[in-house]
Structure formats: C-alpha cells, structure tokens
Structure 1
Amino acid sequence: MNSWCSYKDVVLFTSNRINKGVVVYLTVQERKSLEISIENVKDLNELFGSQDKNIKLIEDYLNVEISTRGEIMQIEGEAESVQQTHDILVVLQELINRGHKMNTQDVISAIKMRQSDTLKSFLSLYENTLIKDAKGQSIKIKNLNQKQYVNAINSNDVVFGIGPAGTGKTFLAVVMAIAALKNGQVKKIILTRPAVEAGENLGFLPGDLQEKVNPYLRPIYDALYQILGVEHTNRLMERGVIEIAPLAYMRGRTLEDAFIILDEAQNTTNAQMKMFLTRLGYQSKMIVNGDKTQIDLPKGVESGLVHSEKILKNIKRIRFIEFSASDVVRHPVVADIIRAYEGN
C-alpha cells in the first residue's frame, strides 16, 4: 500500500493499480511523505542497485530521502519532488518487470524525462533493440532526442548530430553503422575526424597511417570495441571493412555503399566540410557529429559545422538533430558541468 503522510488535512482519497499490487494514496493539500509497498523483494533489490546507487542518485537529483523497512519504501521531501520520485520509482519498477536489467543510465533518463514531463514516453524507448554488444547485452536509446536521432538516420542520407559531449552522438552513430553493415545495407564503414591539434599534418607522428590517426579517434574505437569486441573489430579493419582515416584523406574519393561518420565536425573549416559532404555516393549514409561550444580552430576561422547548419537546413534528405545538456547520458555531474560552462 502507498500512503501519503502530510502535515495538513486530507482533502481527497483516490486509488490506482500499479504492477502486481494495489496502490492507495491520499491527495492532500501539501504532500510531504509517501510510502510504497513492493511485494517482490527481488524487484526491490534491482530497483535500488548495487550499494543502493540508484536510490542515492534519485535522492541527489530530487533532494528527497528514501528509506526502507522490509518491502516498504518511504519518500520524504518537498511535495513536487516526492511526487516526481513516486512516478520515477513506479516506471522503473515496470521496466524491471518487463525483464530489462536496469543500470544508472536508465535511472538518469527516467529522472530527466519526469522533470521535462515526458515520462509517459519512457517505457516506449525500450521496446526496440538497436543491436546487441559484444557481451550480448541489448543497446537501446536512452531519451527522446536519441530516438529522433536514430529515426533521422534511418530516413535521411545525411544527418547532423549537434550538441555537447556525453549525449551519445558518436556511440549511436557507430551502433547504426554496424547495424547497417550486418543487415547488408552497406559494404563498409568509414570513420574520420579532423586532426586539428596536428593541423591535419600527421607526418611527424610515429607509425603508419592508422597509428597516426588512432589518438584522435579513441571515442570511436571505444564504441567499436564495446559493440564488436576488440578481435572482431581488428579483423574487420584488416579486411578494410572498417576504415579509419583523417579527414584530409577523403579528398578526391567517392564513397559508395558506405556508412561514413565524421566526428568532431566543429573543427572542420568550410572548405573541409564541403569536401567531405560532396564525397557522398550511392547507397551511402553520412553522419556528421559535433559540439559548437568546443571549436578548436584558429581565431577568425569559421567552423564548417556552424556554416553548414546555416545553409543546409532546408535541403531534403538532410536532417539536423540538436542535443542539449539534459540529454547527457554519462555520469550525472557531466550535465551539471556543461550547464555551468554554458552559463559563463
């Protein structure tokens, strides 16, 4: 049983059925405390997470206190925060009951969607698996902007993902590229980014071309290794199915039957961006990702990403998806850091 405890008089009784048990609560003028009864102890353990990390995360985000007595959870805090916490715990329990193994990112997504009044769409995010990673775990979208991004990739030839680090742009682009490769939609994956720190002149770095570019493509490698595993990734690279190349090496090529990802696109010049986009061939897709707040170009040089957003928005088969700090799916403090820098 769920019950509201308040310092003011009760004005209305209502009831509702959630999951396996009946939830009964009091609607009051000022809500301060709520008790939730969960019949399945296994669900409770899953909900709390290892060392109660999921509950601690909710407490930190919403400034509430959650305590337990057996199968009873009590939420205390300000009225709105208590209600939000209740709604989040209910939807997370339903996610667990559907067989999903919950992690910290799921909790963060639920919190943010409740705060933006989009929690009703939360469970729908988990209905489809994009792909399974090297450990056999399902990879699914985490928020509504990621859903728009994936849908845009499926229905357009060129997609721009613009927003801060940690929003999943690069990872999802790699996921979609591997899915397209496995489904036979493309024959190869091409990954590139401008090596601004070296001025696109990589000659002084030791090793062959791949070794020269590797330091600049670490996030893409991490995504590949998570999805395919290290050995499988290396085999595909040896066969040329996955190609890693600096942006300067795209010049003069026509890229057909390929899934091409340009990362850190904010550090391209206008000329580089034009050169890259005009490499698109038949049966190919291009994904262009970047963060307009992290431009490392010399002073006075316009970012090719910024310029392309101005002139390409109305072209058919090209789509721009904007991410914000609220879409960050890394450690919770990352979103706070981004907001702090945006405010100065």
Structure 2
Amino acid sequence: MEHILNFENSDFEKELFGNYDRNIKALEESFSTNILLRDSKIFIIGEKSTDVNKCARVIEELFKLFKKGTTIDVQLVRYTVQVINDDTNSNLENLGDDVIILTSKGNPVRAKTLGQKNYLENIKKNDVTICVGPAGTGKTYLAVAMAVGSFRRGEVSRIILTRPAVEAGESLGFLPGDLKDKVDPYLRPLYDALFEMFGAEKFEKHLESGVIEVAPLAFMRGRTLDNSFIILDEAQNTTKEQMKMFLTRFGFGSKVVVTGDITQIDLGDNKKSGLSHAVMILNGVKGIAIDELTEKDVVRHELVQRIIKQYDKYEKKQQMLKSKGNSEEKKYMKKK
C-alpha cells in the first residue's frame, strides 16, 4: 500500500528526515514502512494498510507541532508513534502551545508529552501539586521552570527548593566535610536547573540576596513561607511527619509542588514514605492536585523507558506473589 502526503514545506521536510535521516529511520522502524521524498511529496510504502495509515497520522501530527515551533527529533518521533499506537484519534497539536519560559540562552521550555502538559496545567490551577513518576519524566525540571516563570511575572517574590537529606542509603552525619559540603551534592540537580534558566550571574545574585533558597528539608521547620514558589524534590524520602511539617509551611500567595518516585524509597524498612502517605490521604482535597507521570513521559534515552517498564513489571509480579503468599498463610492459620 502507498500513501502520499504533500505539505509543500521544505523546512518541515528537512526537519522530519533529520540529520542522516535519523528521524525518518525511527519512524520506518516503528511501522515497518519505507518513506521517500520525491518532488516535495512524502511517499509512505508498506505491506499493511494499518501501519501505513498510522505512519501518515504521525507525520501529520509532527507537522502541526512543527508549525507551532516545536523541534522535531527522534525522541518526539518515538513519543508521537507511541501516542498514535495507543489511540489513532489522539491529537498532539496542543502539546506545543505553551512555552513556560525561555532559558538564559533563549531556548524554550515546554511540555514534551501529554502527561507533562497535564502536570503543568495542574500546577497552574492548584495551590499544591503532588507529582509522582519515574526518573526522566521531567517532574523537577518542569516544576523549576514554572517557579522561574512565576518569579519573572512577579507572581512570587522567592523561589525555595528543598530535598530531604537522605538518598541512596547515605546519612549526612557519616559523610565527611562541613554542612555545605554534605548538603550540596544532594541539591546539585536543583542548582543545575536554576543555573540553566537564570544564567550564572543572575543565579548567583539571587542566591546571595535570598531570592532563591536551596536548602535541606530540615531548614523548613518553624517557618511560614508567604509569596513563594516552593518545591520539595525527592519527596519519597520524607517521613509522614516531615511531609506534614512541609505541607503546613506555605502561607498566603504561595504555590507548592512536591515531586518524587515512590519506587525509589531510601528510608528504613520500618518507615512509611511521606509521599505515599500524602498521595493516599490528600487525594480529592480541594486545591490539591495529585498527578502521576509514567514511563510514557520519560524524556531521556529510549532505553530508559524500557528499563523502567521492566522494573515495573518485576515489582508488580513481586507484589502479586507477596499477596498470594499472604493469602496462603492466612488460609493455613485459619485451618490451625
């Protein structure tokens, strides 16, 4: 079967194919098709009509995004393929609508997936947004971008970013160096995002003046934070008590975003994650949005998506086996 598309846009055709035809090769592999460009027309050739039609839909969606200024790369091609495979009626046109901010180098920051777009909408509409999802879904980066945008528009006067100082099984008390030496590595991802968005000079200036504050979670105790955009990152490593303490810190004119991955909890076995607990008890509370990003929203190397998927499968299987084991144990105890 053959399908012909004609956009009469040489810039789009160039970007669609990509350097060394990387984009188009990814598209061909996804649908077992051959894609050719002749006389400004795109020919899609394949054995199965469903593959050819889906491939055409992907290219049409990419053209809509291109017209809105979205750069086409392999990552976007693969994501569009994934969305069209899930639902051929999906519309990605609105994905490129909103530019959150421009970085210090003038690069636009925007949602790259439908899940991310929904996450950003929740942040806009709610005072508190709790987002859970695997690594690479842009939870923290997008939250920082929203904070910077809010600050630039004068909606808040401060940006406060915090993390619990417990990660990868390490305890700060056993690490060498003074407090700054111990804390900085844990907060580095937050510094990096702010550095990219503000630029070196402005970032340092705001940090020194206290407009930007990056600190461990323990430093939030006993404070009321007005007119601030507050982000708690790596929240899966908070205890229930810490989470309650944090969520009751924000005051008038403030916005809070909590991010974390509940599959990467580094607390002791006897401690329940404050993030898991908050998701459970705060769901449905007015003014609070609970958001979940999945492996479909991963915007890193495609292999990261596959790795996350395999771990999810394994963990679900283990939970099923554990649940089955518990039920068998209960049956045995009843017999006794």
Task: Say whether the 8 Å CA contact 1:200–1:248 is kept in structure 2.
Answer: no
How has the CA–CA distance of structure 1 residues 104 and 240 changed in structure 2, closer, same or farther, with 3 Å as cutoff?
farther
Q: Give the equivalent residue in structure 1 for 2:26.
A: 57
Higher relative contact order (CA 8 A, sep 6+): 2
CA contact (8 A) 1:213 1:246 kept: yes
Name 1:129's counterpart in structure 2: 99
In structure 2, C-alpha distance between the alignment counterparts of 1:273 and 1:97, rounded to whole Å:
43
Are residues 1:255 and 2:229 paired? no
- What SS does the aligned partner of 2:151 have? helix
Task: Please state how far the C-alpha of 1:102 moved relative to its aligned partner.
Answer: 2.8
Q: 1:82 Cα shift?
A: 2.2
TM-fit CA distance, 1:221 = 2.3
Residue in 2 that maps onto 1:79: 49
Partner of 2:282: 312
Conserved in 1, the CA contact under 8 Å of 2:69 and 2:96? no
Residues 68-96 of structure 1: per-residue CA shift (max 9 Å, x gap): 45644443444323221111112212333
Q: Does the 8 A contact of 1:200 with 1:246 survive in 2?
A: no
Alignment partner of 1:166 is 2:123: no
- 2:166 is aligned to 196
In the alignment, the residues of structure 2 paired with residue 167 and residue 119 of structure 1 have an alpha-carbon distance, to the nearest angstrom, of 24
| 63 and 207 in structure 1: CA distance in 2 versus 1, 3 angstrom threshold | farther
Aligned counterparts, 1:175-190, within 5 A: 175-190=145-160
Equivalent position to 1:95, from 65, 75, 78: 65
Match of 1:300 in 2: 270
State which of 119, 122, 127 in structure 2 corresponds to 1:152: 122
Change (3 A) 1:225 1:202: farther
2:197 aligns with one of 227, 231, 234? 227
- Percent of paired sites with the same residue: 44
Whole-angstrom CA distance in 2 between matches of 1:93 and 1:114: 14
Q: Distance in 2 between matches of 1:42 and 1:52?
A: 14
Q: TM-score, normalised by structure 1?
A: 0.83
3-state SS of the aligned residue for 1:319?
A: strand
Question: Is contact 1:161-1:169 (8 Å) kept?
Answer: yes
The letter of the residue matching 2:236 is: Q
Rounded to whole Å, the distance in 2 between the matches of 1:182 and 1:104 is 32
Q: Name structure 1 gaps, 5 residues minimum.
A: 6-32
Return 65-74 or 259-268, whichever deviates more: 65-74
More helix per residue: 1 or 2? 2
Alignment partner, residue 12 of structure 2: 43
- Structure 2 distance, partners of 1:70, 1:238, is 59
Letter aligned with residue 206 of structure 1: G
Residue deviations 1:310-334, cap 9 Å, x none? Answer: 1111221111011111111222221
CA contact (8 A) 2:233 2:259 kept: yes
Runs of 5+ unmatched residues, structure 2 = 315-336
**1:289 CA drift (Å):** 0.4
Q: What is the CA–CA distance in structure 2 between the aligned matches of 1:118 and 1:166, rounded to whole Å?
A: 26
Cα shift at 1:155:
1.6
Report the CA distance shift for 1:39/1:157 in structure 2 as closer, same or farther (over 3 A). Answer: closer
Alpha carbons 1:273, 1:305 under 8 Å: kept: yes
Does 1:329 find its partner at 2:299? Answer: yes
1:298–1:107 Cα change, 3 Å: same
Q: How many residues align?
A: 312
User: How far does residue 136 in structure 1 lie from its aligned partner after superposition?
Assistant: 1.2
Query: Is the counterpart of residue 269 in structure 1 residue 239 in structure 2?
Result: yes
Q: Residues 220 and 121 from structure 1, CA distance in 2 versus in 1: closer, same or farther, beyond 3 angstroms? A: farther
Q: 1:103 to 1:318 in 2, by over 3 A?
A: same
CA distance in 2, matches of 1:55, 1:327: 21
Of the structure 1 ranges 110-119 and 143-152, higher mean CA displacement relative to structure 2 is found in 110-119
Q: Output one character per residue of 1:188-236: Cα deviation in whole Å (capped at 9) or x when no partner.
A: 1111111213766358442553x43221123222322222223322221
Q: SS of the counterpart of 2:172?
A: coil
* Greater Cα offset, 226-235 or 80-89: 226-235
